[in-house]
Amino acid sequence: MKQGMPDMDETSLRRLLDSALVGRPPMGPVAHNALRAGIKLRRRRRIQGAAGTVAGVAAITVALPLITQALGHNTPQAATGRAAQATAYVANYESGTVTPVNTTTNRPGKPIKIALDPADIVITPDGRTAYVLSQLYRHHHITGVVTPVSTATNEPGKPIPVPPEPWTMAISPDGKTVYVVSLYPGRVTPISTATNTPGKPIPTGLGSSAITIAPDSKTAYVASQAGGGGGNGAVTPVNTVTGKPGTPIPVGNGPYDIQITPDGKTVYAANSFSRSVTPINTATDTAGQPVTAWGTPETIAITPDGATAYVVCQSSKRLRLPGRVVPISTATNTPGKPIKVGVTPTLMAISPDGRTAYVLNHTSDTVTPINTATNTPGKPIKVGAKPGAIAFTPDGKTAYVANYDGSGTVIPINTATNTAGAPIKVGRYPSAIAITPAAGATAP
């Protein structure tokens, strides 16, 4: 803790986060995590109002991301099962709807009316149910519910109540549980996907804002802005079998995003305030030596082979100067040469084949592709205003980018040519996007 920094209560933490994260949009992960990212921009702004100061805490994560975790999913489907083609489901925050998009024709279906404002979305590994986190901002507080949506009928089920201040959510790889993270006082609520009933909230530390789940679904790791006490950040391991939190693992200040490697051996925490990335050994639940990041770490994405963790960094959160992406070797935990991208990079997602990383640049309204073999950026792809969420089709041929503005559009990107297609009209302020997995996919 910096000398002279007071111990953090909820009010002072809110103010610190708000002032430090001015103007910062979302973050999130690959697969079913990357989709969480987009939601966080909106949620930051809601928290901003709640704190009565500047901008609110950001995302990503959407949905983000949404998030980390799979991405995001329309066409009428038989009640007995899913259609062969993938469907993109887009959560439209200010429209109070989720729009299904047929990824074969890029045509939007009939909007699905959802309770409150949809902010995040995750889909079960078998593709049968989409879970939508909705928020209601009132009297400086945020309440919320999670609504299950059948992808066979596109009909919403009964909303599931969750604790106040819901921020993001993630689904376990085995598809059995959805975990909803609440900021204050900091807890995680498990929801059984078999019964759609919430379990007992699990305390995870003040300012809980990001979650990642081990590949075996046995442990969830939750990042808290002040979970370590005294304003210090921490990551809390949660035993998903017993529902018991473990001892918080101290990391840098302001852990803003966390991701786990595909083999489940290492968790990486991006610490925005201390400008570092902390690796955590999941076998011992101990933190390693922090890796110095270029600028302010926003979000992390890890390649499918687990060899590289890419960290999106902003050089100036106030002036919105151009940012960088820093590749970190997971074998040695050493950073590589920073990669220049657009203005205000906020979220990165990596294609299913691992060959290309796509960085959303919130201020320059572009997506920058990065060749992961050479770590060189390609020509920025012009999308729409304020790109805030991204998801890939199961075959990786198309990336869908949701633009977080009043026009309410989603842009398909051909990943072979890195060219943008015609905008797809959805609802106002699309905040998260998730795509159903390939037909026949099953949980591990």
Q: What is the CATH number of the domain that holds 273?
A: 2.130.10.10
Q: What is the pLDDT of residues 115-146, one digit of tens each?
A: 778 999 999 999 999 999 998 776 667 788 99
Please give the backbone phi and psi of residue 12, each rounded to the nearest 5 degrees, phi first: -65, -35
Average pLDDT over residues 43-70: 31
Please give the pLDDT value at position 120.
Answer: 94
Contacts of 138 (CB under 8 A, 6+ apart): none
Residue 413 lies in a domain: yes
Per residue in 145-182, pLDDT tens?
999 999 999 999 999 999 999 999 999 999 999 999 99
Q: Which domain covers residue 299, as residue numbers?
A: 11-435
More confident of the two residues 369 and 35: 369
Nearest-10 Cα torsion for 187, 278, 312, 301: -70
Asked if residue 440 is part of any domain, the answer here is no
Structural domain includes residue 4: no
Domain membership flag for residue 6: no
96 in a domain, yes or no?
yes
Q: Is position 2 within any domain?
A: no
Strand partners for 395: none
Q: Which helix (H) or strand (E) holds 388?
A: strand 387-392
Q: Is residue 99 part of a domain?
A: yes
Confidence (pTM): 0.83
User: Does 444 map to a domain?
Assistant: no
Average pLDDT over residues 190-202: 98
The reported pLDDT for the residue numbered 362 is: 85
Number of domains in the chain: 1
pLDDT tier at 31 (50, 70, 90 boundaries)?
very low
pLDDT bracket for residue 77 (50, 70, 90): very low
Average pLDDT over residues 407-432: 95
